[in-house]
Amino acid sequence: MQNLLNLHEIEEAATKVISKKAWAYYYSAADDQISKSFNNTIYRSIFFRPRVFVDCSICNMETSLLGHNVKLPIFVSPAAMARLGHPSGEAGIAEACDRMGVAQIISNSASLSPEQIVAKASPGQVFGWQLYVQRDLKMSEAMLERVNSLDPIKFIVLTVDAPVPGKREDDERVNNIGRMAGGGGSVATQLFAGTDPSISWDKTLRWLSEHTKKPIVVKGLQTHEDVVVAGSYAPLVRGVVLSNHGGRSLDTAPPAVHTLLEVRRYCPEMFERIDIWVDGGIRRGTNAIKALCLGAKAVGIGRPVLWGLGAGGVKGVERTLQILGNEMATCMRLLGVKSVQDLGPQYVNTRIVEQQ
Q: Does 25 bind ligand FNR (CB under 6 A)?
A: yes
DSSP letter, residue 275: E
Residue 281 among known ligand-binding residues: yes
Q: Which of residues 253-272 bind ligand FNR (CB under 6 A)?
A: none
User: x/- site string to ligand FNR, residues 119 to 158, per CB under 6 A?
Assistant: -----------x----------------------------
Is 280 a binder of ligand FNR (CB under 6 A)?
A: yes
Half-sphere exposure of 289 (CA within 13 A, CB side): 34
The phi, psi pair for 188, rounded to 5°, reads -60, -45
Active site residue 224: no
**CB-nearest residue to ligand FNR:** 302
Residue 281 sits in the site that holds ligand FNR (CB under 6 A): yes
145 Cβ contact partners less than 8 Å away, ≥ 6 residues apart: 211
The reply, when asked if residue 243 is annotated as ligand binding, is yes
| Window of 78-86, 167-175, 264-272, 348-356 that interacts with ligand FNR by CB under 6 A | 78-86
Q: How many residues bind ligand FNR (CB under 6 A)?
A: 26
Site for ligand FNR in 200-239 (CB under 6 A): 219
Query: Is 68 within any annotated ligand binding site?
Result: no
Q: Quick one: 167 or 303, whose CB is closer to ligand FNR?
A: 303
Question: Which of 10, 80, 96, 348 is the binder for ligand FNR (CB under 6 A)?
Answer: 80
The CA distance from 330 to 213, in Å, is 39
Alpha-carbon distances of 251 from 186, 279, 302, rounded to whole Å? 18, 16, 17
79 binds ligand FNR (CB under 6 A): yes
Q: How far is the CB of 338 from ligand FNR (least distance, A)?
A: 27
Is the separation of the CB atoms in 305 and 316 below 8 Å? no
Whether residue 168 is annotated as binding a ligand: the answer is yes
- 279 belongs to the binding site for ligand FNR (CB under 6 A): yes
Distance, in Å, from the CA atom of 77 to the CA atom of 66, rounded to the nearest integer, reads: 16
Ligand-binding annotation for 310, yes or no, is: no
Which residues 154-193 are close enough to bind ligand FNR by CB under 6 A?
Answer: 159
Tell me how far, at minimum, the Cβ of 84 lies from ligand FNR, in Å. Answer: 8
- Binding residue (CB under 6 A) for ligand FNR from 147, 174, 274, 282: 282
Q: Closest distance between ligand FNR and the C-beta of residue 55, in Å?
A: 33
Cβ pair 141, 148 in contact under 8 A: no
Report, in Å, the least distance between residue 336 CB and ligand FNR: 28
Q: Does 104 bind ligand FNR (CB under 6 A)?
A: no
Cα dist from 199 to 41, 66, 224, 231, whole Å: 32, 25, 20, 18
146/342 Cα distance (integer angstroms): 39
Please say which residue, 84 or 293, places its beta carbon nearer to ligand FNR: 84
Amino acid identity, position 121: A
Rounded Cα distance between 268 and 356, Å, is 21
Ranges assigned E (strand) in 4-143: 47-48, 63-65, 68-70, 74-76, 103-106, 127-131
Nearer to ligand FNR, 316 or 337 (CB): 316
C-beta separation of 71 from 298 below 8 A: no
Name the minimum Å distance from CB 283 to ligand FNR.
8
Q: Which residues of 177-206 are buried (b: 16+ CB within 10 A; e: fewer)?
A: eeeeeeeebbbbbbbbeebeeebeeeebbe
* Spatial distance between the Cα atoms of 35 and 240, rounded to a whole number of angstroms: 19
The total of other beta-carbon atoms located within 10 Å of residue 9's CB is 15
- Extract the annotated binding site for glyoxylate: 25, 132, 168, 245, 248
- Extract the annotated binding site for FMN: 78-80, 107, 130, 159, 219, 243, 279-283, 302-303
Kindly list the catalytic residues: 245
**Binding footprint of ligand FNR on the chain (CB under 6 A):** 25-26, 39, 77-80, 107-109, 130, 159, 219, 243, 245-246, 248, 279-282, 300-303, 306
